[in-house]
Chain A
Amino acid sequence: SYELTQPPSVSVSPGQTARITCSGDQLPEKYVYWYQQKSGQAPVLVIYDDSKRPSGIPERFSGSSSGTMATLTISGAQVEDEGNYYCYSIDSSVNLWVFGGGTKLTVL
């Protein structure tokens, strides 16, 4: 089955740039989406269609995708950005959607 691979954890100091990667064989042809989830809360979409930001999401969140790897970048990470981040995309061979395993972002 199709897998999206993320690092388990990323840690940065406040104000630094955090980069979270997601790799998958079909990413060259399919969009990736990124979610932020804080403890006890529902996920929030922070990036869609590889690099677009929904309204209300701070400009410090950006996304890019090249080849089989997508990257979520948080420029000038803040303490309130701590949480788990998941990438999400489709396995087009079977029309099923998949989440990455998640990356725990620590900002301290």
Chain B
Amino acid sequence: EVQLVESGGGLVQRGGSLRLSCAASGFTFSTYWMSWVRQAPGKGLEWVANIKQDGSDKNYVESVRGRFTISRDNAKNSLYLQMNSLRAEDTAVYYCARALHSNSPSALVDWGQGTLVTVSS
């Protein structure tokens, strides 16, 4: 059974930093693209970033580029999101998600339960 468990969320002041983690199990982590998706309170889904299997390709939504860094440790079956210079508009539940097809950044088929990040102003 695929499991994705996010952690690291919490309350942080505007301008602060936070590192989210996602522990993966139940599949061969090193063969899948992984993504972060967020959802602000009462709002829709927003794709944030994704990373290739070996970490050699990373993509970011424009609003976080230069402030957030996605990374992974295949030896630890873990995905990370380093978030710096946080803004009030970054307040959201952050989900990690696995691509449907191995070796392709396709649909996101498995999701974690999410971790809440609240940026106070």
**A95 touches B (CB below 8 Å):** yes
Is B47 in contact with A98, judged by CB distance below 8 angstroms?
yes
How many residues in B have their beta carbons less than 8 Å from beta carbons of A?
A: 22
- Specify which of B44, B47, B100, B113 is in contact with A42 (CB 8 Å cutoff): B113
Q: How far is the CB of B92 from the nearest CB of chain A, in Å? A: 13
**B107 touches A (CB below 8 Å):** yes
Measured between beta carbons, the chain B residues less than 8 angstroms from A88 are 45, 47, 107-108
Is A96 in contact with B59, judged by CB distance below 8 angstroms?
yes
Name the residue of chain B whose CB is nearest to the CB of A86.
B45
Compute how far the CA of A88 lies from the CA of B46 in the bound complex, rounded to whole angstroms. Answer: 10
Given A48-B100, A96-B61, residue A102 in contact with residue B44 (CB < 8 A): yes
Measured between beta carbons, the chain B residues less than 8 angstroms from A90 are 105
Binding site for A on B (CB under 8 A): 35, 37, 44-47, 50, 59-62, 95, 100, 105-109, 111-114
Compute how far the CA of A95 lies from the CA of B51 in the bound complex, rounded to whole angstroms. Answer: 12
23 A-B contacts, Cβ less than 8 Å apart?
A: A1-B62, A31-B106, A37-B45, A42-B95, A42-B112, A42-B113, A43-B37, A44-B111, A45-B108, A49-B107, A54-B100, A86-B44, A86-B45, A88-B45, A88-B47, A88-B107, A88-B108, A95-B59, A97-B35, A97-B47, A97-B50, A99-B45, A99-B46
Compute how far the CA of A14 lies from the CA of B46 in the bound complex, rounded to whole angstroms. Answer: 30
Chain B CB within 10 Å — which of A35, A43, A100 has the most? A43
The interface residues of chain B, by DSSP majority, are classed as strand
Compute how far the CA of A44 lies from the CA of B46 in the bound complex, rounded to whole angstroms. Answer: 15
Q: How far is the CB of A5 from the nearest CB of chain B, in Å? A: 12
Compute how far the CA of A49 lies from the CA of B109 in the bound complex, rounded to whole angstroms. Answer: 12
Given A54-B109, A97-B35, residue A42 in contact with residue B45 (CB < 8 A): no
Measured between beta carbons, the chain B residues less than 8 angstroms from A96 are 47, 59-62
